[in-house]
Amino acid sequence: MLELTVRSKSLYTGFALCFVLIFTSFEYFKSSGWKFLYEEQAYLRCLPIELSLTRTHTVSPQEVERGMLVVVKTDAYEKFYRKGATLLKLITGLPGDEIVFEKGIVKINNEFVSTYNQDDDAGFKPFISGKYILKDGEYWVSGSTSVSLDSRYIGPISLEHVIGTGYAII
């Protein structure tokens, strides 16, 4: 029979304590609404982010800033997304902002934001043509690529569709 030395006992005890500490840390991290997201569809990337950290929580209008990343639930947009999907999008328009669709270009407050497909074979039509003013409680979300399904096609979103915030890591 193998006898454990004092040194090997302390080594095994250290490994066990490290395992318990790591496991409980991950469980706490997960239960507090935080999670890592990895972009699974590199060919259809909506933002130039590979890895992000997101936190599920209620977002108040006072927290929302232009340029922040938000996690959007897509249940109201089943025409565009599979049920239960969540998206990481950039807030580019706030209530009162003027959105203009003209000649394939989207501008917010006269600043270029993105382009859009005027005639898409897949059936995705622009949200509007011409000018639109975001109402109270409406936010414009954007991806950074031409294949991103965002407010250009689904229109403005309300905070009831925002389920958290995100932070780009890579």
pLDDT mean values, one per 10 residues, the chain (170 residues): 68 76 66 64 53 83 94 78 78 96 92 80 75 96 80 91 83
**148 plus 160 within the same structural domain:** yes
Note the pTM of the prediction, 2 decimals: 0.74
**121 plus 56 within the same structural domain:** yes
Task: Determine the pLDDT at residue 42.
Answer: 45
**164 plus 136 within the same structural domain:** yes
Q: At 142, give phi and psi (nearest 5°).
A: -135, 150
Residue entry with tokens 């409406």: 138
Number of domains the chain is built from: 2
**41 plus 108 within the same structural domain:** yes
Show the domain range for 27.
1-32
**20 plus 41 within the same structural domain:** no
Coil/strand/helix, residue 24: helix
CB 137 within 8 A of CB 95: yes
CA distance 89 to 22: 31
